[in-house]
Copies of this chain bind each other. A is one copy, B any other.
């Protein structure tokens, strides 16, 4: 065997030479991670088939059921980011030729459409203006116009615009028309009420790095019995091995012994678990209230600075605030100043808001008065230059 090795062109610098001083993360996610969650992540790795890890998997399922307000047995974190959670929902619940109504009011609704198309579905694209909520009346009409639609898919909290849609009403309409629902709760989970059982959501996915305040990398999901029945009734194989729920179920389900599927990201699961402990300790109602109060606190301060928020107050997401960039101010220069002078990250606008608005996140552990104070002071500085 030839053991010759081609050496590096350059020597890698130490990680500490690359990483900045801790940031205040007020963009669209990741949010600030609680030190306890970081500490959990650094615990020694155990095997993914270790009995203690299997107990941890059970506890994580239990913690996620609380976060999602569900009794769904099939509630677990996908071992990949939220976009893989989205893809798992579409890959498993629809088959080629299925008609899927997608209510689209931003980037992530558009990604849902892309999923439908790639899996050979027939998308019904019901689009809404950027920065507006999904109108249940138009969805009801679409359900009437397309009685053969099998799924209604929509984003509960559009991260690209900071808009909250009425998931409860949309799910009720879907049920009345015998449609399953796929709901994106990436930014909503933990920040505003998400009630999987009460609202009758069939498939929901979220992300670890938003209001759960974990590092990014995991996508909590939950599936109703109706969703599982649809999966069982498939006549074609799931078009992905990695995301095939029938296989993943055997891995996450303790009953009858676990079947190896993939190697779970063990340390990321430690972090998620710790964040679920923190959520349990605080309580969902208090977490929701904290997000709302800090949002009000932020909005009051922004308005004092003369800034305006383009989203209708009735549908504003507390955890993601779209803020109009004042005339004459340079988007990139202001964000660069916030980052370099205050270590503060806020998000750029997307779509029709690119260059026209910022997205200020107040997600999870970030939603605290000290961060609102930093943000307002830093913006005041950056805008006065």
Where the two chains meet, the residues of A that have a C-beta atom closer than 8 Å to any C-beta of B are: 1-3, 5-15, 18-20, 22-23, 25, 27, 29-30, 32-33, 38-52, 55-56, 59, 62-63, 66, 69, 79-84, 86-87, 111, 114-115, 117-119, 192-193, 195, 197-198, 207, 209, 215-217, 237-242, 261-268, 270-271, 273-274, 276-277, 280, 283-285, 288, 339, 345
Contact = CB atoms under 8 A, between A and B. Distances in A.
A42 B43 CA distance: 9
Copies in the complex: 2
The secondary structure that dominates the A interface is: loop
19 contacts: A2-B195, A3-B285, A5-B284, A6-B197, A8-B280, A15-B270, A19-B52, A19-B270, A25-B45, A30-B47, A38-B45, A41-B41, A42-B42, A79-B217, A82-B262, A83-B241, A84-B84, A111-B241, A265-B265
Given A263-B207, A266-B215, A87 B242 contact: yes
B18 A33 contact: no
Contacts of A5: 69, 283-285
B262 A83 contact: yes
Given A12-B276, A19-B56, A25-B46, 14 more contacts: A3-B285, A12-B62, A15-B270, A23-B46, A25-B47, A30-B266, A38-B45, A41-B267, A80-B242, A81-B262, A81-B263, A83-B241, A207-B263, A215-B266
Contact of A3 (B20, B51, B193): B193
A51 to B, nearest CB: 8
Contact of A83 (B81, B195, B242): B242
B18 A44 contact: no
B69 A215 contact: no
A243 to B, nearest CB: 8
A207 B55 CA distance: 24
Contacts of A267: 33, 38, 41, 215, 217, 268, 271
B30 A209 contact: no
Contacts of A49: 27
A20 B46 contact: yes
Given A15-B277, A80-B80, A193-B1, A215 B45 contact: yes
A257 to B, nearest CB: 11
Given A12-B277, A45-B33, A241-B114, A215 B284 contact: no
Pairs A-B, 9 closest by C-beta atoms = A217-B265, A42-B42, A80-B80, A215-B267, A22-B44, A216-B263, A83-B262, A38-B42, A81-B262
Given A1-B193, A25-B45, A277-B14, A62 B8 contact: yes
B45 A42 contact: no
Contact of A263 (B7, B30, B50, B284): B30
Nearest to A44: B22
A349 to B, nearest CB: 12
A142 to B, nearest CB: 23
A39 B3 CA distance: 32
A50 B195 CA distance: 33
A86 B56 CA distance: 27
